[in-house]
Copies of this chain bind each other. A is one copy, B any other.
Amino acid sequence: MSYLGDLLSTVFERRYRKALSEKADDQTTAELCDALLSSQGDVSGVTLARSLLDRYANMTPDEKLGFFEYLATQLEIVPDDVQSTIHAYCAEKNRTTYSAFASACEPKRQELARRLNQVPGATGELVSMRKDLLKLLKARPELEPVDVDFKHLFASWFNRGFLVLRPINWESPADILEKIIAYEAVHAIDSWDDLRRRLKPDDRRCFGFFHPAMADEPLIFVEVALTKGIPNSVQALLADERVAHPAEEADTAVFYSISNCQAGLAGISFGNSLIKQVVADLSHELQGLETFVTLSPIPGLNRWMSQSGLEVQAFNTQALAAHYLMEAKRHDGMPYDPVARFHLGNGAQIHAVHAEADTSDNGRKQSNGAMVNYLYDLSQISQNHEQFVGEKSIAASDAVKTLSASVAAHA
């Protein structure tokens, strides 16, 4: 499909776009944006959009900053128009007044993004564009409204209903697999052989969300190990020399790595949906599975301990980790640990904590080697989630609570 598609668009380009694009080369970026926004129908729109995206791709960092400033200032709402249209709409509610108001409230940069998105491949290019923008925000907070608009658009385009779950395995295309290697954020994949060990054995799975308009780019993926019993060490789980077991014999599915792939989609959450869908898939395929659990890092543990006054020596790592996960909170009452926030927010509960579970340099550094299992119990998820969101109460096994309490008692 894409192969033929490439052929066709190539021919099309040659025969049809040449004149228009030559004209585009003489225009400033602002003129091109104006032209694209005022094009009626898409006779010339596609060519303009392609020219603009190509031009953006070749911009220097300074030129990109200039482009975003143009979006922020020139394609901005006009407050007076908002005022006048909201008055008119309040006076008489009909299609015309409401359209005028809606139009006044939405900066033209949103329509520009939609029009840029007409051309094949544009969706991914727009996601990259926001990635560039995000890097500039700290130094240029005046660009924040532009980011709000991007995020708003992307939340609509990357709606769960448009995403496709695909298994990623050793039969997947190499161009996708090399991205898995690149994007793995939790436990680095150091070679194609390492990748094969995570994808090919019968007791390993991987799934990702994809968007149809970015078919070769995973948005997020999760790596799963099928085991007997709940594991307490990621090094054991990923050992080079381990022997694979038949998937049918597993009773437990372990989510040991979840990686977001697209920096340009920051703030648009897919993880919750992904885990839930994978639980559904796997529980259908392998009816021996009874337990769905993570083996997760505790990235904030050591940072928090160094900030708190706890006398660490008095407690073992396991107890400290349990205590940290149960008790360490942000100002808003939410857990201090970002991974805990994610899984507890999804309705999981803290099932067990393990010392000496990640003995890598990174594992030692962030959590003194401790890891945690978050348990996804479908019958409890909804209730856990509500209580977490509502009362900020954290679901945990009795064992974890007891461990945590042992620290609290002495602290």
A interface residues (Cβ-Cβ under 8 A, vs B) = 3-4, 7-12, 15-16, 19-20, 40-44, 46, 79, 82-83, 86, 89-90, 93-95, 98-99, 101-102, 105-106, 114, 117-120, 122-123, 141-142, 144-145, 147-149, 152-153, 155-157, 159-162, 164, 167, 170-175, 177-178, 192, 196, 199-200, 212-213, 216, 248, 269, 272-273, 276, 280-281, 283-285, 345-347, 378-379, 381-382, 385-386, 389
Contacts and interface: CB of A to CB of B under 8 A. Distances in A.
Given A7-B284, A98-B145, A162 B213 contact: yes
17 contacts: A11-B280, A12-B280, A15-B283, A40-B389, A41-B385, A42-B273, A43-B382, A82-B86, A83-B83, A93-B142, A105-B106, A118-B161, A118-B273, A157-B159, A170-B175, A171-B174, A171-B175
Contacts of A123: 161-162
Give 5 nearest A-B pairs by CB, closest first: A12-B280, A105-B105, A95-B144, A212-B212, A98-B145
B145 A272 contact: no
Please indicate which of the listed interface residues A114, A174, A276 has the most CB atoms of chain B within 10 Å of its own CB. A174
A95 B284 contact: no
A147 B95 contact: yes
B142 A7 contact: no
A76 to B, nearest CB: 9
Contacts of A106: 105
Contact of A43 (B99, B171, B272): B272
Nearest to A73: B93
Given A94-B144, A161-B118, A172-B174, A281 B3 contact: no
Contacts of A40: 345, 385, 389
Contact of A95 (B114, B145, B269): B145
A257 B354 CA distance: 54
Nearest to A11: B284
A8 B276 contact: no
Nearest to A390: B40
Nearest to A177: B174
A172 B170 contact: no
A353 to B, nearest CB: 24
Contacts of A101: 105
Nearest to A85: B82
Nearest to A247: B10
A407 to B, nearest CB: 30
B161 A99 contact: no
Contacts of A86: 79, 82-83
Nearest to A105: B105
B42 A161 contact: no
A173 B175 contact: no
Please indicate which of the listed interface residues A102, A178, A212 has the most CB atoms of chain B within 10 Å of its own CB. A102
Contacts of A82: 82, 86, 105
A321 to B, nearest CB: 25
Given A156-B156, A171-B216, A41 B269 contact: yes
Contacts of A199: 174
A272 B179 CA distance: 36
B385 A102 contact: no
B43 A102 contact: no
A117 B174 contact: no
A276 B43 contact: yes
Contacts of A79: 86, 89-90
Contacts of A173: 170-174
Contacts of A20: 382
A248 to B, nearest CB: 7
Contacts of A15: 280, 283, 378
A19 B161 contact: no
A21 B43 CA distance: 46
